[in-house]
Structure 1
């Protein structure tokens, strides 16, 4: 086979360019720490890495939602706990008022504290989060949900079944029955609070039936029974009836708080799982993308040696000429 001078030059040039290209690619891999610089380096691996990265991003969003849900549930659970503590204090005051040894003056002092406690309850019911949104107003989070009803007259009646009757309730509710929720996994949406209608206005008994009195109505009726200035005649029977309603209210709040706590516990498990999944995604991405430095450095040295040898032989070969022998 005859080898022309142009073939000699072209072949040598192609060899050096190919080696320079490989050397440059290996150098980029070493500088970035990535095995796949372009999809052409490993089409299958690049496609899988893209899919894993997308899944990792979705999982990160779920983790963010879980963190937000945990903050909101923790706030709601803390406020409901304070509501329960306030009701417990009200129950203690009701027990003091039931003592037949105290007089009307002492009952008046108890009623005065009860009036402060019912305002505490309304303040808790109108709690806002760090962004100024009302946490117990359902989807109407920018609207203050609970307000005093100046037209109410004792005895106060609250939510009835099946209609929602606000005609004579001591405190009105202007929120709605919606419950804010966040998507915490691909298949699970979790409520991050309770709406005020379910928590404060629709008190349920041990069987889950709506009692027909809101939390505020129960406490206000208790005040009216105890307070000598209310115009109502105090009777032990009437007081015991109201105290029975108060017990149902305390149990109702305890059930709501337990539900919030259960959701917080479930979130902890979901977050742990999401963290484990994120770790697995990182491991797989590392397997697909990360560079084996030992192999890459060895390859870089090999290409460098080959390029130097090719350049040297090309220089010597390109100087061969018949005229040098004449």
Structure 2
């Protein structure tokens, strides 16, 4: 069969072009470090690589969110730790202040120490993250959440919003807690608070109120104990009030009502009242509670009337229970913060494992095997050179060379 010169040139050119295209593609793969240069090289692999790349990007964003949430929660945990330590010291000082051997000067000294502790608590309540954002202000994080008023009271100026952070695919986490829930709240299980009316003329003092029957139908209500004619009467604060107990008053004898028990000592005056309220209705502001304790300790006691002495002792007793409730509330929230930090650690470990798995899979899909690709490069170069040399030799063939 005779092969025309034109056909020979066309076939040789086609062969060399094919070899050059293959060689160029291998060179591009080596330069890019990837075996997929265009989606048409591997449509299925390209689709999977795109999905895995998006997963890696999302995981990186979740990782950044976890780091930011962890930093904020760590700052909050540190503030709550300091707060709980201060509250524990306050409780110890309040118990010490109830010692009957102390003088007015001793109690005034304790009041000064408590005032310093109060200032520290206010500073912790206005903690920020170092970037001007206040930790306990809710959504109003640009301004201090607790503001001291002209009369000395502390007003909460923040809100109760929680900044949620997307820390994983299906997990949003509160990155902070609002100040009201920390410094002006109590837990639902907080005990009853007993307090005396500031206008009482008698010298009745009370012990801590204990629960003896939580199934009592009146349990959970607020009560008022009133005195008159040698008797006491216990009524709810409902409108109209409902009398739940009445009997002759005997100093030191426990009285029971609404599933509760309290022991009263001393001599009441007609018209005196004692309030027994749930913790949430008895005042939950730790700053106000501490102010009341400080005021009581600054009141002269040594030469005071029996009624004034009873009022001071009752104020310390009430304040001690309130500070105990405040401490329990802070510890509960601190436990919640610790749980969130622990969860962030677990999510970080899961995210790191997922990230490693995704990157390994992406590498399998698109990363180049340099050993086999370089070997292919040499093969393509050799094949191209052989094609070129064959073309040169065949081009020299002519009938004239044999005449």
Aligned to 1:134: 134
How many Å separate the matches in 1 of 2:286 and 2:14? 87
**SS at the partner of 1:210?**
helix
How many Å separate the matches in 2 of 1:90 and 1:207? 19
Aligned to 1:216: 287
Q: What TM-score do the two structures reach when normalised by structure 1? A: 0.90
How many Å separate the matches in 2 of 1:29 and 1:93? 76
Over 3 Å counting, the alpha-carbon distance change for 1:87 and 1:5 in structure 2 is same
Gaps of 5+ in 1: 153-169
Gaps of 5+ in 2: 192-278
Cα displacement (A) at 1:43: 1.6
Higher strand proportion: 2
Query: Which among 302, 305, 314 is matched to residue 391 of structure 2?
Result: 314
Cα displacement (A) at 1:3: 2.5
Deviations 1:43-71 (A, max 9, x none): 21111111100111001100110011100
Counterparts of 1:194-209 in structure 2, within 5 Å, are: 194-204=177-187, 206-207=189-190
Q: What TM-score do the two structures reach when normalised by structure 2? A: 0.73
Counterparts of 1:141-156 in structure 2, within 5 Å, are: 141-151=141-151
Aligned to 2:353: 276
Contact 2:284/2:326 (CA < 8 Å) preserved in 1? Answer: no
Cα displacement (A) at 1:86: 1.0
Query: Which among 252, 256, 273 is matched to residue 329 of structure 2?
Result: 252
Aligned to 2:296: 225
How many Å separate the matches in 1 of 2:101 and 2:352? 61
Contact 1:19/1:306 (CA < 8 Å) preserved in 2? Answer: yes
Aligned to 1:290: 367
Aligned to 1:44: 44
Count of aligned residue pairs for this structure pair: 309
Deviations 1:271-316 (A, max 9, x none): 1000000000111011001111221122112111111110111111
Higher helix proportion: 1
Counterparts of 1:105-184 in structure 2, within 5 Å, are: 105-151=105-151, 170-184=153-167
Contact 1:26/1:299 (CA < 8 Å) preserved in 2? Answer: yes
How many Å separate the matches in 2 of 1:229 and 1:257? 38
Aligned to 2:58: 58
How many Å separate the matches in 2 of 1:94 and 1:242? 8
Aligned to 2:250: none
Contact 1:205/1:252 (CA < 8 Å) preserved in 2? Answer: no
Query: Which among 296, 300, 312 is matched to residue 377 of structure 2?
Result: 300
Counterparts of 1:91-106 in structure 2, within 5 Å, are: 91-106=91-106
Cα displacement (A) at 1:77: 0.8
**SS at the partner of 1:206?**
coil
Contact 2:73/2:341 (CA < 8 Å) preserved in 1? Answer: yes
How many Å separate the matches in 1 of 2:176 and 2:168? 18
Contact 1:179/1:193 (CA < 8 Å) preserved in 2? Answer: yes
- The RMSD of aligned alpha carbons is 2.0
Q: Greater Rg, structure 1 or structure 2?
A: 2
Contact 1:149/1:172 (CA < 8 Å) preserved in 2? Answer: yes
How many Å separate the matches in 1 of 2:83 and 2:119? 11
How many Å separate the matches in 1 of 2:151 and 2:291? 14
Deviations 1:161-187 (A, max 9, x none): xxxxxxxxx210110010112100121
Contact 2:296/2:315 (CA < 8 Å) preserved in 1? Answer: yes
